[in-house]
Amino acid sequence: MTNTFVLVYLLVVLLIGLIAGRGIRNLSQYAVAGKSFGSMVIFATLSASFIGGGFSMGNAEKVFLFGIANIVALWGFSLKEVLVAGFIAPRIGKYPRAISVGDIMEFHYGTVAKVFAGVFGFILCAGILGAQIGAIGYIANLFLGIDRFWGILIGCGIVITYATVGGMRAVVWTDIVQFVILAIGIPLTLYFGIKSAGGLDQVLSTVPAGHLSLPSEPLALVALASLFLTFLFGETLVPPYLQRLLIGRSTGHVVRGTLYSGLFSFPFFAVTGLIGLVALALNPEINPNLAMPYVIQQALPPLLQGLVVAAVVAIIMSSADSFLNAAAICFSNDIVKPLLKTPLSNSREVAMARTVTLAVGIMAVIFALSIESVLDILIYSYNFWAPIILVPLVMGILGARASRIRFLYGAGAGILMVLVWSYGLDRPWGIDGLVMGVLANLVVFNLVDRNGGSRADQGPGASA
């Protein structure tokens, strides 16, 4: 029953993606779907994009191990979305033809910054994509009894197919379906899990008391604050999320969709974390990595297991397709396009983007199947996105004076601080190097070239 339900779901998603992706004629349609979506669509696709394995099964695992402090830390991400809705989204209309982070960086800091953003954006997206692809194989094996190899080929083959053919338009419409499934399935898991454990009072009385409170020791509070800031800064305006700010038909739709997504994430992160507490109450001896799958398998009626397993698959696929599309746009638009001496025609730009999408997807599958340690190395690139790109990107959007020297000095300071703090000093007081790198970039950015000119001073417009 479960296998049949999930198979039908996958075929429906593939069909929706292929139908939605018809008629693409230029790179803008491929990358941002012609900027044609309203607030509720932006809300659904943005939420589906960031709710990956880490914010669902990973959150349940951490709460199983350490308690509700991990939920509070994840709320740093939620606060970030609210802040983006309040300060960044209202200004995104200044870039009417931008389709990527690189386009906005080029507008403020020039072509070098665009290529720089493209390189780091590509590495970041490829790394996270690889991790999601590995998770698809794991989920297929755990829930469906399918060999990991075939699980990866089937699940990722579907994602790669519709993302390659349909670009952002296909990704958005499949994200909507996936969001509906996960928004129903994951809360159902918590409800039946609590019921299976004997009720909420029984869960709270069974788990260790320390799991239900925040740490009181000063160093532990500093570490929690550092983790909160890591989630606040770490994925701010990464390529897939910034692309969601560029697909709205108006600034108002972008603001509302982003705000709804941020507000939705507060209770959703609480739900996925509490599933970890339920698993702990049901069986404290299980592997923490299996906290959410254990609750699904033990607590849900057979008829609902298919829906919830499809929800877990949706969680992984909705992040994978977003990062695959973003990686292709980073490479095509931000790295290759600026380096070409002769501009490509619209049809050739789309063909290049599709080729890159296919190639990136295939390479990620190969890595996930054969060289898993490389994915761990790629994930470390996450630590270099915010310390290098976030500060100049946000400062440019907010209207600060932008110049190439500010970008280069700030990026250099961010990289150096991450390396020294994380690898030279081994993260003193438990503070993550990402946080210190962002602060170093911000300080240096504001100290150098105070009188430098800004391309933004010429008035709002588009990137090249």
Residues 6+ apart with CB under 8 A from 131: 53, 375, 379
- Residue 220 in any domain: the answer is yes
> With pLDDT > 70 as the criterion, what percentage of the chain qualifies?
94
Where residue 161 sits, what CATH number does that domain have?
1.20.1730.10
Alpha-carbon span 257 to 179, nearest angstrom = 14
Q: HSE (CB half, 13 Å, CA atoms) of 199?
A: 3
Check pLDDT > 70 for residue 427.
yes
- Residue 464 in any domain: the answer is no
Tens digit of pLDDT for each residue in 109-128? Answer: 999 999 999 999 998 888 88
Q: How confident is the model at residue 299 (pLDDT cuts 50, 70, 90)?
A: very high
- Residue 237 in any domain: the answer is yes
Check pLDDT > 90 for residue 457.
no
Taking 3-state DSSP, the helix, strand and coil percentages for the chain, each rounded to the nearest 5, stand at 80, 0, 20
Give mean pLDDT, residues 445-463. Answer: 55
Which pLDDT score is estimated for 216? 87
Alpha-carbon span 43 to 267, nearest angstrom = 15
Place of tokens 């044609």: 36
Check pLDDT > 50 for residue 89.
yes
Helix 148-196 to helix 2-20 angle (10° resolution) is 110
The number of distinct structural domains making up the chain is 1
Alpha-carbon span 123 to 94, nearest angstrom = 27
- Residue 54 in any domain: the answer is yes
> For residues 139 and 413, which has the higher predicted lDDT (pLDDT)?
413
One-character DSSP codes across 87-155: IIGGGGGG-TT--SHHHHHHHHH-HHHHHHHHHHHHHHHHHHHHHHHHHHHHHHHHHH---HHHHHHHH
Which residues lie across from 37 on neighbouring strands?
248
Check pLDDT > 50 for residue 462.
no
> For residues 372 and 135, which has the higher predicted lDDT (pLDDT)?
135
Alpha-carbon span 140 to 157, nearest angstrom = 13
Residue 409's domain comprises: 2-458
Q: Is residue 50 within 8 Å of 269, Cβ to Cβ?
A: no
- Residue 279 in any domain: the answer is yes
Alpha-carbon span 324 to 130, nearest angstrom = 9
Q: Is residue 324 within 8 Å of 174, Cβ to Cβ?
A: no
Alpha-carbon span 63 to 53, nearest angstrom = 14
Which pLDDT score is estimated for 380? 65
Tens digit of pLDDT for each residue in 204-261? Answer: 999 999 999 999 899 899 999 999 999 999 889 999 999 999 999 999 999 999 999 9
Of the listed ranges 56-60, 301-305, 318-322, 363-367, the least confidently predicted one is 363-367
Q: How confident is the model at residue 456 (pLDDT cuts 50, 70, 90)?
A: very low
